[in-house]
Amino acid sequence: MRKRFNFCIFLLFTSIFSIPISAQELAFIPAAAKPINHIVAVVNEDVVTRQELNEAIKMTVARLQQQGARIPEQQALESQVLESVITKHIQLQHAKEVGLSVAESEVDETIQRIAEENKLSLPEFYTALEHEGVSHSKFREEIRDELTMTRLKEREVKNQVNVTEGEVDNYLHTQETSSEGQEEFRLAHVMILVTENMNNAQIEQRAERAEMALTKLKEGADFAQVVAEFSDAADARTGGIIEWRPVTQLGPSFAQLLEPMKQDEITPVIQSPNGFHIFKLLGRRAQEVPTVIIDQTHARHVLIKINELTSESEGKQKILAIKKRLDNGENFEEVAKLYSEDSSASVGGDLGWLSPGDTVPDFEHAMNELLPGQISEPVRTQFGWHLIQVLERRSQDISLDRRRQAARQAIRARKADVVIQEWLRQLRDQAYVEYRLDEEL
């Protein structure tokens, strides 16, 4: 029996708490003279406090330090981080409104994985966090929030993003016929957001802001600092880095601009439906298309289901009786058509060519023990009782299948990014936000 696969976006939460913060960098965190419970923004019915903003600024400074980027001026840094915190509040509020939550077990599993990736046991990991001034409860809260926002975005994308076989064909054709299709690019970018409710004058102001950012870059300003000062993108706090991607995943208009560029070159301001962009090419490399050979098995089966109509003992008696008939020489295909209780019965129980992982473990293990032509003893899985016959085996090159799968994922990621950006804009436009930073002055 084939097992079901559920699409899942797994969030990789990267810990930055092991990075020491110097006295110089701490100077960018507002002085303690400002009350930590002072409200710096109102977001619908929630508030952002000075303490929450300070913690977010500290994390941002640590990330910029890890990237070797200069820290922006305090006012620019504070403003950018506050926008990010506000966006986070809006998303978490929406998650609560739609009844979306993350199970504690999922939080536990994520923390366990982070600890393993840092080559630490769970107690060692918690101790390391405490040494950096991060409490167990605060870290769990951050993980829960990040998982919630990821789940929320996945929910938004799920019913809005579809990829057709024609789109996959076109994507692969583009890769085969264009030089840039065979390359991957690592980029940094500045995005100046344009929302649908902006008038022409406001859009013009945003365009001027993008040109200001470009002017600073041409004058030699550090790209990460310009990102922190100007960019409205969600990745502005991490230097605007876009890790290695096939250029076709970025869209045709960007592909044409990037193809002739050299490393460290910067694009002019590019306008798109969601705003103005500036890209810096950090690196390019050939896109590897590895050959993938796997062992496949052509098999068929008879299934007797266990349910409210058929008890465990009755099901086993039925499968044993069928096994006896097959041992006496009856045709497997005809027996499967008569007795098998799944959709494969109409084709004589034929399951086609099966790759590793296509079936549940108990079924796969029993199948792998059989020689071609051999029929198994009764095998119990969560679906019921099976008799399995292996017809033949082969080694198969599935490189094309993997390429199509990668193409489908790239197209989906590109479409999902557009959907998420638009969705975030709508959430932001619908939210009531009141800034109170000036009240601290």
Among positive and negative, which fits the CA dihedral 225, 228, 233, 234?
Answer: positive
Predicted confidence (pLDDT) at residue 12 exceeds the cutoff of 50: no
Is 180-290+417-435's fold the same as 293-397's?
A: yes
Quick one: CATH architecture of 293-397? Roll (3.10)
How far, in Å, are 73, 307, 354 from residue 384 at the CA level? 66, 8, 19
Tokens encoding 111: 């923390």
C-alpha to C-alpha distance for 363 and 344, rounded to whole angstroms: 15
| CATH (one of 2.60.120.10, 3.40.920.10, 1.10.4030.10, 2.30.30.90) for 23-159 | 1.10.4030.10
Predicted confidence (pLDDT) at residue 297 exceeds the cutoff of 60: yes
Instruction: State the helix-helix crossing angle for 136-158 and 104-117, rounded to 10 degrees.
Output: 110
| % of residues, the chain, pLDDT over 90 | 44
pLDDT per residue as tens digits for the range 385-410: 999 999 999 998 877 787 788 888 88
Rounding to the nearest 10 degrees, give the CA dihedral for residues 40, 41, 46, 52. Answer: -40
Is the distance from CB of 262 to CB of 275 less than 8 angstroms? no
Give me the amino acid identity at 328: N
Predicted confidence (pLDDT) at residue 32 exceeds the cutoff of 70: no
Reported confidence tier of residue 28, pLDDT bands at 50, 70, 90 = very low
| HEC assignment per residue over the chain | CECCCCCCCCCCCCCCCCCCCCHHHHCCCCCCCCCCCCEEEEECCEEEEHHHHHHHHHHHHHHHHHCCCCCCCHHHHHHHHHHHHHHHHHHHHHHHHCCCCCCHHHHHHHHHHHHHHCCCCHHHHHHHHHHCCCCHHHHHHHHHHHHHHHHHHHHHHHCCCCCCHHHHHHHHHHHHHCHHHHEEEEEEEEEEECCCCCCHHHHHHHHHHHHHHHHHHHCCCCHHHHHHHHCCCHHHHHCCEEEEEEHHHHCHHHHHHHCCCCCCCECCCEEECCEEEEEEEEEEEECCCCCCEEEEEEEEEEEEECCCCCCHHHHHHHHHHHHHHHHCCCCHHHHHHHHCCCHHHHHCCEEEEECCCCECHHHHHHHHCCCCCCECCCEEECCEEEEEEEEEEEEEECHHHHHHHHHHHHHHHHHHHHHHHHHHHHHHHHCCEEECHHHHC
Reported confidence tier of residue 252, pLDDT bands at 50, 70, 90 = low
Average pLDDT over residues 231-237: 80
C-alpha to C-alpha distance for 49 and 63, rounded to whole angstroms: 22
180-290+417-435: CATH topology: Chitinase A; domain 3 (3.10.50)
| Reported pTM | 0.51
pLDDT per residue as tens digits for the range 265-279: 999 998 887 789 999
Predicted confidence (pLDDT) at residue 241 exceeds the cutoff of 70: yes
Of the two residues 193 and 343, the one the predictor is more confident about is 343
Of the two residues 332 and 421, the one the predictor is more confident about is 332
Average pLDDT over residues 145-167: 90
Reported confidence tier of residue 349, pLDDT bands at 50, 70, 90 = very high
Q: What is the mean pLDDT of the chain?
A: 84
pLDDT at 23: 36
Average pLDDT over residues 31-37: 57
Predicted confidence (pLDDT) at residue 16 exceeds the cutoff of 70: no
Of the two residues 378 and 236, the one the predictor is more confident about is 378
Average pLDDT over residues 124-135: 84
pLDDT at 180: 47
Residue 165: exposure state from Cβ atoms within 10 A (0-12, 13-18, ≥19): exposed
Reported confidence tier of residue 157, pLDDT bands at 50, 70, 90 = confident
Predicted confidence (pLDDT) at residue 380 exceeds the cutoff of 90: yes
End-to-end alpha carbon distance in the chain: 67
Reported confidence tier of residue 440, pLDDT bands at 50, 70, 90 = low
C-alpha to C-alpha distance for 204 and 215, rounded to whole angstroms: 16
Predicted confidence (pLDDT) at residue 36 exceeds the cutoff of 70: no
> Which residues, other chains included, contact 97 with Cβ-Cβ below 8 Å and sequence gap of 6+?
none
Predicted confidence (pLDDT) at residue 213 exceeds the cutoff of 90: yes
Residue 7: exposure state from Cβ atoms within 10 A (0-12, 13-18, ≥19): exposed
Reported confidence tier of residue 9, pLDDT bands at 50, 70, 90 = very low
Average pLDDT over residues 317-326: 97
Residue 387: exposure state from Cβ atoms within 10 A (0-12, 13-18, ≥19): buried
Predicted confidence (pLDDT) at residue 238 exceeds the cutoff of 80: no
pLDDT at 182: 66
Enumerate the domain spans of the chain.
23-159, 180-290+417-435, 293-397
Average pLDDT over residues 255-270: 86
Predicted confidence (pLDDT) at residue 119 exceeds the cutoff of 90: no
Tokens encoding 298: 């052509």
Of the two residues 26 and 288, the one the predictor is more confident about is 288
pLDDT per residue as tens digits for the range 172-195: 887 666 544 468 889 999 999 887
